[in-house]
């Protein structure tokens, strides 16, 4: 955004601040200046001509970053910036707009009819007919000023509307009255309606667009661009001036959809002041009388369809001090807001009621915190001593759920697992594959993908997809996921449960090794849930029929351990052991006290036994027998492996470690313990494999 230094000095009489210092002050208190530069040469005019046009004053252009003006639509014109400059310099603004003429009364018959079909489409529309105009080049002073701001001069009638845009920030449009007729209607566009715009492009409109129309067709796209059919021509003698207020959101949407951004749309989409329309008309008529002598203006027609309340905000100065971190006197605060043209009413020694001016009420100033920002920028943030907030440091409450999940993650990563994350949705195909009753599944009201319309009742479908995807690249790997399962509660409300699912995958290599991986997963489960109990389970149809068990802890079921049914991994040509733990249930268990046990002072001895058992014999049953036979001499029992044997048999190998608390066992004592265990196993009907 460009601002003329000479123009600002005209609007702020007595301004003597050097232009670079002014740019610095604007940066510190209003908006970010990107630099000051020369306005450049004006094509077709000599340097002396330009100097005379500027009153022999050398001009300078202050360039301001548009992004820093986004929330300040009043600063998109020189008058708005002049108000800021006057407040900074302690001066007053010379308003270029004179006294406003009275609009035509409703009872009076006007030769211009303006209708707003819906107040939500246009808050205010002001129009005025001007007769006896003559199209000609603008005076050099106006052309030079517009050119220095990057606006191409066209002719005196169009240049006046652009001049008002740069001065007051109010977009305007001039119609050829002969081509327009006597009727203006602001309405929503009809679907498929088309308009040929001033840029020569034809646009197809929709019902979401707003148009300015005559009695038959659109003559302009509201807030964006005028139509070519009613454009000013060289022979134009009568014009209609328009200054209106359109809703910011709709102008922005139409501008984006039509891929058409103009100087007008950039201002309307920020939110314009409805009070500015009549002022813009009065200023335009005044300028026309100067540059087109003999022009005669009719009474303006002003339709104010939707008025906005005048915002009044209470401000506690003591509260503002605490927010700002700086002492403030009541007089200082009152002077700041009066300089910014706020109405200030003192209701108490330290309390004010401030009336926001209309040009700052366009979603800019609405809450007390906005007022604190105004005070802060005007007193200067450099005047505030940096100080850390005096906030008492309190320990953050423990989040047991996060602590548990963090511990589980670290444990599994240490065991060689990689974490994955899946969507919480499943499809009809997933539900059918795992035998879920879709009538009991929670259904998403507005699924992102039509197929993914159910909330997952288990993490298993997601981890299966991960197994299939990764099996194409890796022969062996370990994965885990921590996430929510979603179930229909008894109260018909959705219930979430946090689960861990872990998987160990191994590619088949001509022999069945999956049982060993199920037992490896059991070891992982022992690491996560010490002291758990394995309970044989009737496998789910999607689990291996002979390798499925429940995990119990604290007397309740907290998960499951199994092998995924090979049919589900047929394309992966491998087997997968699965561990599923209910983390919510585990967290609810009472804390287990641990008894300190000192390191053993005396060495132990170990021996291995391979027991021949039936192929359906449970390893846990064999472990129980060995523990009973080992008695107090047994220090630890470690499962080693299972080896299949012919005739429906298997060999299960264990390592038994024995020792004493107060001495080292002799070789004879170790032999007697081993013989006792062997005889007990044989007495139970088992054979030992040498």
How would DSSP label each residue in 400-436?
Answer: HHHHHHHHHHHHHHHTT-EE----SEE-HHHHHHTT-
Map out the domains of the chain as residue ranges: 2-89, 113-304, 312-380, 400-588, 605-688
- Give 450-502 as a DSSP string: TT--EE-S-SHHHHHHHHHHHHTT-SEEEEEEEEEEEEE-TTSSEEEEEEEEE
Contact between 641 and 523 under an 8 Å Cβ cutoff? The reply is no
- Note the pLDDT of residue 393: 80
Give how far Cα 47 sits from Cα of 39, 41, 50, 51, 201, Å: 12, 8, 5, 6, 37
**CB environment 405-421: b (16+ within 10 A), e (fewer):** beebeeebeebebeebe
- Name the architecture of domain 400-588: 2-Layer Sandwich (3.30)
* Lowest-confidence region among 36-50, 205-219, 237-251, 366-380: 36-50
113-304 — its CATH code? 3.50.40.10
CATH assignment, 312-380 = 3.30.56.10
pLDDT recorded at residue 499? 96
Q: Is the pTM of this model over 0.85?
A: no
Mean pLDDT of 494-505: 94
**Minimum mean pLDDT range among 8-17, 34-43, 274-283:** 34-43
Which of the two residues, 545 and 206, has the higher pLDDT score? 206
| For the chain, percent of residues with pLDDT exceeding 70 | 95
pLDDT digits (tens, 9 = 90+) for 204-221: 999 999 999 999 999 999
pLDDT, tens digit, 9 for 90 and up, residues 300-336: 999 999 999 989 999 999 999 999 989 999 999 999 9
Closest to 586 measured CA to CA, from 502, 498, 523, 463: 498
Write down the pLDDT at residue 411.
95
CATH architecture of 605-688: 2-Layer Sandwich (3.30)
Q: What is the pLDDT of residues 305-315, one digit of tens each?
A: 999 998 999 99
Same fold for the domain at 2-89 and the one at 312-380?
A: yes
Question: Tell me, what DSSP letter sits at residue 117?
Answer: S
Report the top-level CATH class of 2-89: alpha beta
Mean pLDDT of the chain, nearest integer: 90
What was the pLDDT predicted at 107? 42
Asked if the model's pLDDT at residue 184 lies above 50, the reply is yes
């Amino acid at each position: 955004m460009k601002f003329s230094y000479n123009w600002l000095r005209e609007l702020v009489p007595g301004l003597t601040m050097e232009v670079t210092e002014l740019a610095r002050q604007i940066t510190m208190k209003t908006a970010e200046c990107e630099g000051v530069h020369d306005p450049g040469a004006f094509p077709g005019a000599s340097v002396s001509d330009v100097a005379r046009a500027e009153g022999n004053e050398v001009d300078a252009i202050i360039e301001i970053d548009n992004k820093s003006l986004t929330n300040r639509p009043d600063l998109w014109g020189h008058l708005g910036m002049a108000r800021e400059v006057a407040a900074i310099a302690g001066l007053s603004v010379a308003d270029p707009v004179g006294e406003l003429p009275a609009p035509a009364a409703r009872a009076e018959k006007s030769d211009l009819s303006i209708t707003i079909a819906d107040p939500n489409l246009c808050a205010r529309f002001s129009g005025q007919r001007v007769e006896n105009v003559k199209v000609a080049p603008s005076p050099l002073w106006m052309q030079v000023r517009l050119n220095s701001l990057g606006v191409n001069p066209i002719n005196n009638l169009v240049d006046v509307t652009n001049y008002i845009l740069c001065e007051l920030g109010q977009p305007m449009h001039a119609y050829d009255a002969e081509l327009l007729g006597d009727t203006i209607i602001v309405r929503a566009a009809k679907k498929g309606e088309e308009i040929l715009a001033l840029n020569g492009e034809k646009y197809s409109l929709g019902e979401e667009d707003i148009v300015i129309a005559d009695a038959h067709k659109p003559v302009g796209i509201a807030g964006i661009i005028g139509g070519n059919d009613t454009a000013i021509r060289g022979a134009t003698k009568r014009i209609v001036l328009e200054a209106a207020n359109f809703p910011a959101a709709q102008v922005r949407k139409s501008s984006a959809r039509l891929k058409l951004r103009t100087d007008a749309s950039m201002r309307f989409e920020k939110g314009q002041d409805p009070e500015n329309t009549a002022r813009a008309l009065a200023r335009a008529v005044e300028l026309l009388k100067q540059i087109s002598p003999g022009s005669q203006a009719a009474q303006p027609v002003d339709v104010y369809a939707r008025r906005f309340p005048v915002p009044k905000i209470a401000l506690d100065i003591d509260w503002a001090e605490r927010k700002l971190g700086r002492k403030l006197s009541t007089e200082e605060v009152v002077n700041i807001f009066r300089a910014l043209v706020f109405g200030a009413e003192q209701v108490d020694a330290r309390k004010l009621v401030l009336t926001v001016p209309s040009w700052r009420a366009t979603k800019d100033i609405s809450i007390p915190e906005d007022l604190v920002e105004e005070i802060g920028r005007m007193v200067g943030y450099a005047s505030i001593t940096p100080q850390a907030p005096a906030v008492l440091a309190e320990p953050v409450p423990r989040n047991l759920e996060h602590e548990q999940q963090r511990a589980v993650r670290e444990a599994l990563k240490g065991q060689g697992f990689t974490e994955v994350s899946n969507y919480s949705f499943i499809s009809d195909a997933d539900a059918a594959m795992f035998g879920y009753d879709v009538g009991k599944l929670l259904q998403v009201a507005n699924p992102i993908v039509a197929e993914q319309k159910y909330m997952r009742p288990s993490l298993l479908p997601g981890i299966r997809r991960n197994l299939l995807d990764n099996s194409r690249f890796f022969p062996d790997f370990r994965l885990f996921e921590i996430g929510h399962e979603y179930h229909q509660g008894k109260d018909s409300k959705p219930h979430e449960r946090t689960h861990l699912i872990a998987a160990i995958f191994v590619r088949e290599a001509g022999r069945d090794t999956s049982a060993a991986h199920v037992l490896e997963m059991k070891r992982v489960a022992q690491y996560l849930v010490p002291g758990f109990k394995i309970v044989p389970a009737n496998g789910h149809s999607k689990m291996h029929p002979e390798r499925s068990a429940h995990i119990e802890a604290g007397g309740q079921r907290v998960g499951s351990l199994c092998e995924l049914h090979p049919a589900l991994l047929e394309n992966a040509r491998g087997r997968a052991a699965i561990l599923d733990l209910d983390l919510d249930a585990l967290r609810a268990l009472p804390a287990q006290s641990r008894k300190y046990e000192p390191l053993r002072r005396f060495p132990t001895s170990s021996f291995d036994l391979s027991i021949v058992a039936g192929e359906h014999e449970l390893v846990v049953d064999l472990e129980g027998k060995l523990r009973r036979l080992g008695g107090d001499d047994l220090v630890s029992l470690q499962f080693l492996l299972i080896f299949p044997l012919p005739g429906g048999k298997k060999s299960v190998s264990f390592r038994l470690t024995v020792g004493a608390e107060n001495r080292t066992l002799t070789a004879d004592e170790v032999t007697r313990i081993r013989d006792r265990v062997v005889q007990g196993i044989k007495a139970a009907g088992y054979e030992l494999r040498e």
